[in-house]
Amino acid sequence: MTSGAERAPGTDVLPVPGPDKALVGRLVEGRYEIVRPIARGGMATVYEAVDRRLDRDVAIKIMHASLAHDPDFVARFEREAKAAARINHPNVVSVTDTGVDGDLVFLVMELVRGRTLRELLRERGRLSPEQALEVLEPVLTALAAAQSAGLVHRDVKPENVLLGDDNVIKVADFGLARAVEASGLTTHAGLLLGTVAYLPPEQVTAGRSDGRGDVYAAGVVLFEMLTGAVPYEAETPIAVAYRHVHEDVPAPSSLAPEIPTELDDLVLQATAREQDDRFADAAAFLVAARRARRHLARQPSRSGDTQAIPLTEHLTQPLEVPGRPKRPKQPRNSTPRRRRRWPIVLVVLVMLSALAAGLGVWLALPSRVEVPALGNRSLATVEQALTAKHLPYRIGAPQNSDSVPQGAVLRLTPGSGSKVKEHTTITIVPSAGVLHITVPKVATLSEAEATQAITASGLPKPTVKQEYSDTVAAGTVISSDPSAGTSIDHRDTVTLVVSQGPAPVTIPNVVGLPKAQAEQTLTGVGLKPAESQAFSSSVPKGDVISADPNGGTGHRGDTVKLVISQGPQMVTVPDLHGKSGAQAAQALQQVGLVPSGHELFGSSNSVVAQSPSAGTSVKVGSTVTFYTD
């Protein structure tokens, strides 16, 4: 056995067959000479090696080729190995080096000679409560040291608990499971299938776990040490994982009735399905385990209990094996002698006394009752059922549920089916019914901003419906359905009404139309007329001379510029009397009139007559005739 051995339950112990022996004799990174393979697991093969630089024996874990060829895994593996190397604790297998040598990704650790907890359990079946706690304490000490350094193991199992020949218990492989999972390789080649028996529910459902996940796995290991079996068995790993999520770990005493209540309580709290119901971390679990161990040490032994053998003396000692040669019997004295009867009587009296004492202890032990299955029942029914079983209760904070109606009981803690001592307080968690969420105000937000606000509130991603709007800019939310402030089922979907901007329209031709008719035509299709005026000799006064744009396609709310005719431009004929012909012509031209001069009697001294007469209003460009004498 060595640090890093990863034999899942049911795998064979070395010798390791096949290609693993091909590396024997290779010098890794010019420093570590591989001596022999020790164990093979789902991620790697472990070898005994010699560090030629420091002249010492080490264990070197070489990742399987399927992992070594994945660059993401290699990068994460090195980061996790460096993090694990920061843990300096006597109950943690020390990591001394890591690297890549050609096609080999490796990790160098201290060599721990002895065996794994898995091998001990195969040999003994199960441990006594005292022995189980003796193994558990250093495991929790190691996990607590790692958690205080910010590192979570994520793969606590008997294969990673090493029982050294020097009677020191160590935990191996910190962070390596995280490196595999983070690379998306957890289902590759059966990786982690050997550890599914110890996975916390949140690691199954969400793929992530914190220190309380290590607490859960350590609780399962304690269950296995006490009973010789894991809590859940099924035909496939997926089925086992499903049971972790949907079933409470049973009390160890359900398989081995002689197990003390204190150890039942340890296992049940450590393996609670809800993370908040477990020990807060490995340190809290360790405190409770030490308290239970001190309590057991003060209790008298009970008939039928497994004999407590100090593990520090017997962890690595072989047990009696059937067929082993027995010590030769001493030759009897050939001299006949009379047998004495009093030793037999004494033995019988001692046995009867022990039986009576054991019976007395058994009778003094508190009886255990099973927590009834009372989910989805009324609170009154649950209270009555618990009272009938002599189980006091308290009402916990209501929690939402999609399946259990409001006011009914959602669950009990400890869970239904658990065996607890009489007078154990049960926590009743009522259902608050379906979670309802208030629709947030999203009008005037962009579509992306509104979607983020909806999902942040806990509602599903909204659907989008687009509408034209004359007042809301394109891409902006007009409204929501249901409207803001409405309380809805957290599973319901909100519809966002998003503006496409103004609707497109065809611009009508209004040139030549009277002003009023042109305006009515434009406003009727959602356009806005803007008017200016101009004189026109050809377009009657009040009619449209021109429009911009004139025809084509636009959008509702667009402006169309209209030029309205003022009719022809008029001017007043000036008074020309007394002016010379040249002066009269100049005066007419200055006001836009056309002069037409005529002489009377052959002279041209001054104007004596004009037509039209002075003061008459005429069109610009009209001809004015004047006469000079």
Distance CA 479, CA 482 (A): 9
Question: Cα-flanking dihedrals φ and ψ of residue 498, to 5°?
Answer: -110, 135
Contacts of 253 (CB under 8 A, 6+ apart): 259, 261, 264, 368, 419
Contacts of 406 (CB under 8 A, 6+ apart): 431, 432, 433, 434
Task: Identify residue 474 by its one-letter amino acid code.
Answer: A
Contacts of 79 (CB under 8 A, 6+ apart): 179
Strands (E), 385-459: 393-395, 409-413, 419-421, 426-430, 436-438
Question: Cα-flanking dihedrals φ and ψ of residue 35, to 5°?
Answer: -95, -50
Strand (E) or helix (H) holding 519? helix 515-524
Distance CA 254, CA 418 (A): 9
The token pair at 273 is 């399905």
Distance CA 140, CA 293 (A): 14
Distance CA 220, CA 199 (A): 9
Contacts of 183 (CB under 8 A, 6+ apart): 67, 70, 72, 73, 76
Would you say the C-alpha torsion 123, 129, 134, 136 has a positive or negative sign? positive
C-beta separation of 94 from 142 below 8 A: no
Question: Cα-flanking dihedrals φ and ψ of residue 409, to 5°?
Answer: -85, 125
Q: Which of 20, 155, 248, 281 is catalytic?
A: 155
The burial of 24, by beta-carbon neighbours within 10 Å (0-12 exposed, 13-18 middle, 19 or more buried), is given as middle
**Assign residue 181 a region: left if phi > 0, alpha if psi is -120 to 50, beta otherwise?**
alpha
Closest CA to 28 of 98, 112, 111, 110: 98
The token pair at 235 is 């035909």
Distance CA 189, CA 70 (A): 14
* 51 has catalytic annotation: no
Peptide bond before residue 414 is cis, with ω within 30 degrees of 0: yes
Residue 179 neighbours by CB distance under 10 Å: 25
Q: Tokens 């080649």, residue?
A: 189
Active site residues: 155
